[in-house]
Structure 1
Amino acid sequence: MATEKKELLNSSKAPEPVGLYPHARRVGNLLFLSGVGPRERGSKNIPGVELDENGNIISYDIEKQCHSVFQNVKYILEDAGSSWDSLVDVTVFLTNMQDDFSTYNRLYAEYFKENQPCRTTVEINKLPTPIAIELKCIATIESPSQS
């Protein structure tokens, strides 16, 4: 059985990873994205988040974080040669399902009105940075011979 080429991909627009991992990895015609949060590239700024002097969350705006994380996913997809409409599976991690799900679900429906990938949403206790949402995505991507 032939070994399939695995290509590591990084976006020039999405925030830098917080560990040793790529933004995405292509295997055949599938593109696997690492967890994507709402941070802004080149800074530790998180849209809608107010932190105290110790880096603890004082307040956050889940709507601003949703818009930002969706934009970051788009950046990675586009820089990798895929697109928003090519998403086939999205796993969403929320740190506060009770307070944030309805806003997130409303925005998700707006962003995914045309393309409706499979979706799983789970609540977790904490994410590695002071964010309230993170997405883990899988998309299709055309092979170079099909482009």
Structure 2
Amino acid sequence: MAEVSRISTNKAPKPVGLYPHARKVGNLLFLSGVGPRVAGSDDIDSAVPGLKLDKNGNFIEFDFEAQCRSVFDNVRIILEESGSSWDQLVDVTVFLVNMKRDFHVYNRIYAEYFKDNLPCRTTVEINSLPTPIAIELKCIATID
């Protein structure tokens, strides 16, 4: 039976539920859904880059590009803290809350970050995510 271990780090945003940042099974690393929140903030709403809400929780300002860059940075941190790396990503599932508005921006930024590594990719539009974010990634990587 393959060795299974749980991985969590304080360098990435704290999970919003009872789950680890990643699980290692044999030489595969499965990341839990990773969003763009900034590590170290317990206030979920204010920890989203480029997001400003009014006192009623309505959007005042929204920066999807900032969220994309932040989610990629968070994935990289979790990979490295787990003993893997960006170049070892083999599969990326992307969840967007607005495909029409955000896909072209996501695709452009994705091309910057993945120009040397071309993992398999699936992009899905969903109705919402559990926090006020517009993007989440689910990744699988190899690990030595």
Q: TM-score range by the shorter chain?
A: over 0.9
Residue in structure 1 matched with residue 8 of structure 2 by the alignment: 10
**Percent identity between the two aligned chains:** 70
- Residue 67 of structure 2 aligns with an amino acid whose one-letter code is Q
1: CA distance, partners of 2:128 / 2:85: 29
Residue in structure 1 matched with residue 60 of structure 2 by the alignment: 58
TM-score, scaled to structure 1: 0.92
Q: Which runs of 5+ in 1 are unaligned?
A: 143-147
2: CA distance, partners of 1:81 / 1:9: 10
The alpha-carbon deviation at position 121 of structure 1 amounts to 0.3
The alpha-carbon deviation at position 54 of structure 1 amounts to 2.9
TM-score, scaled to structure 2: 0.94
Which of 49, 53, 65 matches 2:51? 49
- Residue 22 of structure 2 aligns with an amino acid whose one-letter code is A
Residue in structure 1 matched with residue 17 of structure 2 by the alignment: 19
Asked if 1:39 corresponds to 2:41, the answer is no
Q: Tell whether the 8 Å contact from 1:12 to 1:79 is kept in structure 2 after alignment.
A: no
* Secondary structure of 2:12's aligned partner: coil
Q: Tell whether the 8 Å contact from 1:24 to 1:34 is kept in structure 2 after alignment.
A: yes
CA RMSD, Structure 1 to Structure 2 (Å): 0.9
Q: Tell whether the 8 Å contact from 1:91 to 1:136 is kept in structure 2 after alignment.
A: yes
Structural mapping, 1:41-120, within 5 Å: 41-43=39-41, 44=44, 45-120=47-122
1: CA distance, partners of 2:82 / 2:59: 33
* Secondary structure of 2:105's aligned partner: helix
- Residue 83 of structure 1 aligns with an amino acid whose one-letter code is S
Q: Which runs of 5+ in 2 are unaligned?
A: none
